[in-house]
Amino acid sequence: MDRYAVFGNPIAHSKSPQIHRRFASENGQELTYDAVLVPEDGFAVAVDDFFTRGGKGLNITVPFKQQAWAAAQWRSPAAELAGAVNTLYRDAQGRLCGDNTDGIGMVRDIVQNHGGRVRDARVLLLGAGGAVRGVVQPLLEQQPQQLVIANRTPGKATELAGLFAELGPVQGCGFADLAGQSFDLIINGTAASLQGEVPPLPAGVLAADGWCYDMMYSAQVTAFGRWAQQQGAAKVLDGLGMLVEQAAESFHIWRGVKPGTRSLVDSLRDSLT
């Protein structure tokens, strides 16, 4: 049977096996999908071993996405710019190929699943780490009116914006620089939620009828989600849909089949503790 897996460290929390097994059973695909704890210093060897033994495809999660990017012999344009790879497979020539489905997953969740608007919208991205870098190009592809990347360390945001400047209207800044501006869509890609914190954003930064999206998810509304509610956001979404959509896109790359996602998001939501 065709073998797939997710590599990470830690990995016990990963929902990828549950998601991909469900995609497989719903689409008549015979495959196995396991979660593998890879030693911090053992990534390249583990990847090589997996494919040498006939493995078909890997998802890559923290902390290995940059190493997966480096290991790939061919990278999709999305992966190339993201600087990170979350999906690996071998092509017909045996080359190790890397893709990144995180950004397309998030955009699909916002635009297709929820009917949100990115085109012509003023979009604010919070943070300038790997999570944000992975979504900049797919957001710019939607042709927003402007994309502002704001970060605690402003220099990292301006540097990141510079990498994507040729693709669309993107600028970087610090949080205080946002005073007097407002946005139709604010996306949180900072790690602040992990500490239950919200970046210090000036009043009025969310436009009337604005939407908020947290790339993180949890059983309870995230700290950023609560902030969004307090600002009167028209819609507050978390990253559970992004998780499922990025998996669906990986599944499509590997199997050529596009799985449905809605009922899976609902059942994952019910199972969050």
Q: Please give the residue ranges that form the binding site for ligand ATR (CB under 6 A).
A: 127-131, 151-153, 156, 189-192, 195, 197, 199
Question: In angstroms, rounded to a whole number, what is the distance separating the alpha carbons of residues 270 and 229?
Answer: 21
Backbone torsions φ then ψ of 184, nearest 5 degrees: -85, -25
Cβ at position 147, least distance to ligand ATR in Å = 16
Cβ at position 198, least distance to ligand ATR in Å = 8
207's CB contacts (< 8 A; 6+ apart) are 122, 182, 183, 184
Known binding positions: 14-16, 61, 86, 102, 127-131, 151-156, 215, 217, 239, 246
Backbone torsions φ then ψ of 146, nearest 5 degrees: -150, 150
Known binding positions for shikimate: 14-16, 61, 86, 102, 217, 246
Residue nearer to ligand ATR on the CB measure, 31 or 38: 38
Residue nearer to ligand ATR on the CB measure, 136 or 192: 192
Burial (0-12, 13-18, 19+ Cβ within 10 Å), 147: buried
Residue nearer to ligand ATR on the CB measure, 129 or 168: 129
Residue nearer to ligand ATR on the CB measure, 221 or 257: 221
Cβ at position 188, least distance to ligand ATR in Å = 9
Catalytic one among 56, 65, 235, 258? Answer: 65
Question: In angstroms, rounded to a whole number, what is the distance separating the alpha carbons of residues 187 and 123?
Answer: 8
Antiparallel, parallel or unpaired: β 74-75 and 96-99 = parallel
Known binding positions for NADP(+): 127-131, 151-156, 215, 239
Angle between helices 240-255 and 16-26 (to 10 degrees): 50
Prior bond of 63 cis (ω within 30°): yes
> Which amino acid appears at position 170 of this protein?
V
Is 65 one of the annotated active-site residues of the chain? yes
Cβ at position 105, least distance to ligand ATR in Å = 15
Cβ at position 159, least distance to ligand ATR in Å = 10
Please give the torsion angle defined by the CA atoms of residues 137, 261, 3 and 35, in that order, rounded to the nearest 10 degrees: 80
The residues with which 148 forms a beta bridge, in sequence order, are 124, 171
Which residue lies nearest ligand ATR, judged by its C-beta? 129
For the stretch 166-196, what's the b/e string if a residue is b when 16 or more beta carbons lie within 10 angstroms of its beta carbon? Answer: eebebebbbbeebeebbbbbbbbbbebbeee
Residues belonging to the active site: 65
